[in-house]
Structure 1
């Protein structure tokens, strides 16, 4: 007999699918979600939330398989493995060496003069801008002294004015009352918006039973994202058979462990969209694509001619995906942000550890889950396009995902986190030969009876492939 927790999780999965226009076909596929939270050391049901979204993804992929003439599927998702996927970069081993990263002093919570806390995020180009604003060295003590000379709201405003990352710690009540929280509360966790008219398109690729047929065979995905939600979205599509071409500017820095974690199943090329020739190559790729997924701040690609509306004119029937931190409407839309800041502004970090010594949930809980939600939106948009036609815009954000996770029940205070080690997740560990050497890592989490998810390609070094479809 199903436990109440299992019943709840199945309802989360059904609700997500229903919100995206999927008819109730609850008897078509057999779903089982195994295990329960807490796994990670938090009262948020992180593993169960991720498992519910991964189950929704598997059902959406199974629906597309049935549209190809395939049979309904048995689907199984393990909560412990789903929780491990929220820290999957920590479970990579390349030639026996861990690929984790050391913390940076410009990415941490610091107490301001008024007693409130601010989370700085000096990743990529924000580091120099953060230090320039604070007028201090890249040292935790120096940064703490500098932040202590500011009030928290004034520092958040100054960081935003400079276009660098950082946010004030808020409680959930403060976020719900904030204009950005109000704006996000009015949209679903996954938005699928019609961009324009286009003729219906059948799911591309071979019918079930043909050699190599999979749920997303023939679906071409352009992946213009980095760390971590955006690449996870395209990686999830790749595990169901999509052809993914990851496109990166040669000018942008990268974090190699995250590239290795998020890029299996993809090929990778360089294009500089500030170059007229490379921009034309991108337009040629778009005209033959089905999905265009981007994770840069709003306006960055629009200025280069690749807004969702521009993509729909260029390639009627395209599914554009926009992934950001704070949401796509409201006063924070356009602000740069990352996992840590989504936890900070929404009240997640405040509830997790309190405001006296706040701390983050020890997982990229919003990053990976948002990536899974983006992939779910794409698969549901593909199904709608096949019957309704149209060009579509899928929008997800880390902060909206955090709000959804926070809307779910908590674990009991007396429950002890089960945790996970390599032994407990061994059934999901796979081996790949890569350009970096032999790699062991966490594989796809969902189990599907007819079309087991897998990656056909190892992660590729950035720019190692031509800017062309296979």
Structure 2
């Protein structure tokens, strides 16, 4: 029996994971007679027709398949209707056009492409509104989102070319190491370290656990009593060895172990277990796009956007952003804002690990500097940058920034003194509150906690409820996109209403939303048709998200290698010279395309390595 945790005074008690059958029947009785969809005031006229529990407890699967662009239109309208402060003006919403392949291009039943496409469309609508505020309104301007492009975007950290060679080929030939500084510092340099992050069997044969080494795998291994010098020669051998360790512990024991040692991890819950837990219920109290005005702060007047520069008519041109993030989700926020024209300065702690290959894509359009907040002079440099910023993005644990005078209250006081509101964007795993809000987490943790890994495993018909990660860094990428929607909506509200805004984007939130009955999952025949088309390789709980990304890329290459994925296909933005040995860099171009080409998102500069600029010389443009 799988258990889920509920906190009381920092002590976790346990209660039954699977609800009794009579409770499940009662749950079904509150759905409409036409479908298994809960009744809500905004959508009672058009219930979404689903079947319950196809992929396990708390799952809702569509009875009928609709082409991806058509289904995305429905989900876009739904998210827009649910989002406080987002326009409900049909004139603006109808500017959005979705196009793309009829069937999904990624494995599994989760409509990750449609959810992400809907959020991309929301950035397009906000861009159109901001352009109107800045005196560049156009009734004819259209907003196009290609859902197939969004599928590739979810794996775009691997869709780059350097000097005409694709990134995965360069990785296989071990050529990338010479292109950029090494921030990984041996993070995954042995099979044992690499397999520290995976989904593992436990003493309970039907319950899996997401073990995660973060960027310090040695700490996780040592806590489990594992000798790092184990002579394990392959990833498979390392996984079998670590499985022998985890299978001696119950999922609850693994959870307690990680909490006690301050480590990441999560039981692979069903969606039902997550939604009925205190964690899931805390998150459910917030809208997906979570932007909150701060009426308790000293009032500040509306802040006009800078006059549009004739040489840069992108919607966010002149907006100043300080980004203090790591890995994927947080940096993706700044990357999207940079494509829309913002001046983004990314702060990287030079003493902390990060993932090397991400330097190629997630620093597009940015400048980067190294700041060590333990040093007084560095701290002052950062504070001076923030004092001039419109947006501050942070992706560290809750409360961490307050130690350095960069917490929400600190920046609200700063905004009051300068009489100009600020937008404070936070990104984390579990959400803005609830008893896990301060706990560290990663994409894989969120996928396990919210039920996505359980659902993916069930869709693959694996035995013993084997959980499998969704095939790409989906929740990382989508959380970054969610943070960009948050920031743009807050900036629009700051310009029209005044004040400061606090926003939050959580990895578990995007997972949870994609599993809602109102969204629905793809039927098994659709999942099988997609798998057959691309001939995707084996996907198992043992596989790291990077393994799965390669598996998906290989499937894409089989089908689209001669079209979409070619460097000159029109799907890439190229820079003839880059900071990576001066070679041409091509990365997947921004998703949203505005019919007004002068305003459409694009990066003005290529990606640069972490900490590339002299910090003493870095100022906003």
Output the CA distance in 1 between the equivalents of 2:301 and 2:473: 37
Cα distance, 1:89 vs structure 2 = 1.1
Identify the range of structure 1 (26-35 vs 287-296) with the bigger mean alpha-carbon deviation: 26-35
Q: 1:402 aligns with which of 491, 495, 511?
A: 511
Identify the range of structure 1 (128-137 vs 260-269) with the bigger mean alpha-carbon deviation: 128-137
Cα distance, 1:220 vs structure 2 = 0.3
Report what 1:444 is aligned to: 590
Report what 1:424 is aligned to: 564
Q: Equivalent residue of 1:77, what SS?
A: strand
Output the CA distance in 2 between the equivalents of 1:390 and 1:335: 30
Say what the alpha-carbon RMSD is for the aligned residues: 1.9
Report what 2:9 is aligned to: none
Output the CA distance in 1 between the equivalents of 2:103 and 2:428: 27
Q: Is the 8 A contact 1:321 1:393 kept in 2?
A: yes
Q: Is the 8 A contact 1:239 1:455 kept in 2?
A: yes
Output the CA distance in 2 between the equivalents of 1:460 and 1:7: 38
Report what 2:543 is aligned to: none
Report what 2:619 is aligned to: 468
Identify the range of structure 1 (261-270 vs 188-197) with the bigger mean alpha-carbon deviation: 188-197
Report what 1:291 is aligned to: 391
Cα distance, 1:8 vs structure 2 = 4.4
Q: Equivalent residue of 2:155, what SS?
A: helix
Output the CA distance in 1 between the equivalents of 2:98 and 2:619: 39
Report what 2:314 is aligned to: 214
Output the CA distance in 1 between the equivalents of 2:360 and 2:109: 30
Q: Is the 8 A contact 2:454 2:465 kept in 1?
A: no
Q: 2:215 aligns with which of 115, 118, 124?
A: 124
- Residue by residue, what CA displacement relative to the aligned partner does 1:375-397 show, whole Å, maximum 9, x if unpaired? 11111111111121111101010
Question: 1:245-256 alignment to 2 at 5 Å?
Answer: 245-256=345-356
Question: Quick check: 1:230 aligned with 2:295?
Answer: no
Question: Quick check: 1:327 aligned with 2:431?
Answer: yes
Give 5+ residue unaligned stretches, structure 1: none
Question: 1:96-111 alignment to 2 at 5 Å?
Answer: 96-99=165-168, 104-111=194-201
Output the CA distance in 1 between the equivalents of 2:264 and 2:142: 43
Report what 1:435 is aligned to: 579
Question: Quick check: 1:88 aligned with 2:179?
Answer: no
Matched residues, number: 466
Output the CA distance in 2 between the equivalents of 1:5 and 1:113: 40
Q: Equivalent residue of 2:524, what SS?
A: coil
Output the CA distance in 2 between the equivalents of 1:114 and 1:387: 55
Q: Is the 8 A contact 1:184 1:400 kept in 2?
A: yes
Q: Equivalent residue of 1:332, what SS?
A: coil
Q: Is the 8 A contact 1:134 1:143 kept in 2?
A: no
Identify the range of structure 1 (62-71 vs 432-441) with the bigger mean alpha-carbon deviation: 432-441
Cα distance, 1:159 vs structure 2 = 0.8
Output the CA distance in 1 between the equivalents of 2:97 and 2:442: 32
Q: Equivalent residue of 1:323, what SS?
A: strand
Cα distance, 1:65 vs structure 2 = 0.7
Q: TM-score, normalised by structure 2?
A: 0.72
Output the CA distance in 1 between the equivalents of 2:336 and 2:166: 25
Give 5+ residue unaligned stretches, structure 2: 1-65, 173-187, 229-237, 459-463, 535-555
Output the CA distance in 2 between the equivalents of 1:197 and 1:427: 48
Cα distance, 1:443 vs structure 2 = 1.1
Identify the range of structure 1 (32-41 vs 282-291) with the bigger mean alpha-carbon deviation: 32-41
Report what 2:300 is aligned to: 199
Q: Is the 8 A contact 1:20 1:380 kept in 2?
A: no
Cα distance, 1:7 vs structure 2 = 5.1
Cα distance, 1:97 vs structure 2 = 4.8
Identify the range of structure 1 (43-52 vs 236-245) with the bigger mean alpha-carbon deviation: 43-52
Q: 1:191 to 1:165 in 2, by over 3 A?
A: same
Cα distance, 1:198 vs structure 2 = 3.3
Report what 1:42 is aligned to: 108
Report what 1:455 is aligned to: 603
Output the CA distance in 2 between the equivalents of 1:396 and 1:211: 32
Output the CA distance in 2 between the equivalents of 1:135 and 1:62: 56
Q: Is the 8 A contact 2:68 2:104 kept in 1?
A: no
Output the CA distance in 2 between the equivalents of 1:203 and 1:378: 15
Output the CA distance in 2 between the equivalents of 1:37 and 1:384: 37
The structure with the largest alpha-carbon Rg is 2
- Residue by residue, what CA displacement relative to the aligned partner does 1:132-172 show, whole Å, maximum 9, x if unpaired? 11111453233111111211111112112212211111111
Q: Is the 8 A contact 2:70 2:98 kept in 1?
A: no
Q: TM-score, normalised by structure 1?
A: 0.94
- Residue by residue, what CA displacement relative to the aligned partner does 1:416-446 show, whole Å, maximum 9, x if unpaired? 2265434225331222232113222211111
Question: Quick check: 1:183 aligned with 2:282?
Answer: yes
Output the CA distance in 2 between the equivalents of 1:438 and 1:305: 40
Question: Quick check: 1:337 aligned with 2:337?
Answer: no
Question: 1:300-315 alignment to 2 at 5 Å?
Answer: 300-315=400-415
Cα distance, 1:321 vs structure 2 = 0.4
Output the CA distance in 2 between the equivalents of 1:30 and 1:356: 43
Output the CA distance in 2 between the equivalents of 1:328 and 1:110: 28
Output the CA distance in 2 between the equivalents of 1:153 and 1:337: 17
Question: 1:4-23 alignment to 2 at 5 Å?
Answer: 6=69, 8-18=71-81, 19-23=83-87
- Residue by residue, what CA displacement relative to the aligned partner does 1:196-225 show, whole Å, maximum 9, x if unpaired? 243233343223x73323200110000101
Cα distance, 1:228 vs structure 2 = 0.8
Q: Equivalent residue of 1:315, what SS?
A: helix
Cα distance, 1:98 vs structure 2 = 2.0
Q: Is the 8 A contact 1:428 1:445 kept in 2?
A: no
